[in-house]
């Protein structure tokens, strides 16, 4: 089902049972897998590959208990040239996926996220809203990137990374702040980050570490709680 207001470029291969909603714009030399859903207003560049069973351009929603209310004025989802989106992914309206980004299967990226050029979002990785991811960043499989996080260029995040942004764990209207990972920091697999901690440039955090305080630049920290090695 392709809405008649959608604009489709040249040399676009569209799979079976695809849904392209109104005002979608798709560039040239794009491949769209079977059962893909491209929701209204989504903008897709050239040489993009979208795999099977994805949902792109999703609008956020909530229930009564949730702190953050949906945003009525979100810009369309923008997927730039040479992006690859894996199977069964869910990417929200209001985000920008820059040139050459790779998104693995079963991953999800919420609204108001920017993913910088050439970065990798691993399979089954979850990226929450309002997070900014730099260029040439690697976020590995099953990592959890919380809301309101800042990840600078060339950061490496190992598999199963876990972050948080709410000190009071749901107590109410306190401000939320995710961790900040400075340029070139490297985080081992299954590390745990408390809200708002800052990891300095080129610091290394070991696998399984629990980061409760800021980590200086250029050091190695390991353990629970994480300490300088």
CB-nearer residue toward its own copies: 114 or 202: 202
- Give 46 or 193: the residue with its C-beta nearer to its own copies: 193
Q: Which is nearer to its own copies, 11 or 212 (CB)?
A: 212
Least distance CB 1 / its own copies (angstroms) = 5
| CB 128, min distance to its own copies, A | 7
CA distance 159 to 177: 22
* d(C-alpha 84, C-alpha 3), whole Å: 23
Query: Between 95 and 164, whose beta carbon lies closer to its own copies?
Result: 164
Q: Which is nearer to its own copies, 78 or 160 (CB)?
A: 160
Least CB distance to its own copies at residue 192 (A): 4
Q: Work out how close the CB of 182 gets to its own copies at its nearest, in angstroms, rounded to a whole number.
A: 15
Residue 57 CB, shortest distance to its own copies, in Å, is 10
To the nearest whole angstrom, how small is the minimum distance from the Cβ of residue 33 to its own copies?
A: 8
Report the residue number, 76 or 98, with the smaller CB distance to its own copies. Answer: 98
Q: Can you spell out the DSSP letters for the chain?
A: -B-TT-EE-SS-EE-TT-EE-TT-EE-SS-EE-TT-EE-TT-EE-SS-EE-TT-EEEEPP---TT-SSPPPTTPPPPEE-TT-EE-TT-EEETT-EE-TT-EE-TT-EE-TT-EE-TT-EE-TT-EE-TT-EE-SS-EE-TT-EE-SS-EE-TT-EE-TT-B----TTTT-SSPPP---EE-TT-EE-TT-EE-TT-EE-TT-EE-TT-EE-S-B-TT-EEETTTTEE-
């Amino acid at each position: 089902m392709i809405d008649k207001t959608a604009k489709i470029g040249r040399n676009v291969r569209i799979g079976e049972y695809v849904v392209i909603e109104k005002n979608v714009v798709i560039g040239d030399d794009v491949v769209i897998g079977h059962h893909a859903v491209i929701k209204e207003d989504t903008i897709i560049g050239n040489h993009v590959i979208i795999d099977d069973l994805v949902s792109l351009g999703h609008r956020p929603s909530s229930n009564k208990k949730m702190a953050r209310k949906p945003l009525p004025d979100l810009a369309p989802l923008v997927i730039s040239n040479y992006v690859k989106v894996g199977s069964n992914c869910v990417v929200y309206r209001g985000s920008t996926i820059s040139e050459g980004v790779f998104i693995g299967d079963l991953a999800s990226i919420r609204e108001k996220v920017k993913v910088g050029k050439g970065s990798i979002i691993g399979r089954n990785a979850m990226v929450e809203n309002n997070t900014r991811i730099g260029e040439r960043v690697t976020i590995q499989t099953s990592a959890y990137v919380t809301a309101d996080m800042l990840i600078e260029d060339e950061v490496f995040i190992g598999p199963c990374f876990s972050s948080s942004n709410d000190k009071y764990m749901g107590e109410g209207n306190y401000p939320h702040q995710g961790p900040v990972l400075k340029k070139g920091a490297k985080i081992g697999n299954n590390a745990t980050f408390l809200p708002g901690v800052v990891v300095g440039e080129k610091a290394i955090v070991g696998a399984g570490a629990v980061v409760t305080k800021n980590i200086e630049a250029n050091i190695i920290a390991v353990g629970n709680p994480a300490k300088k090695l």
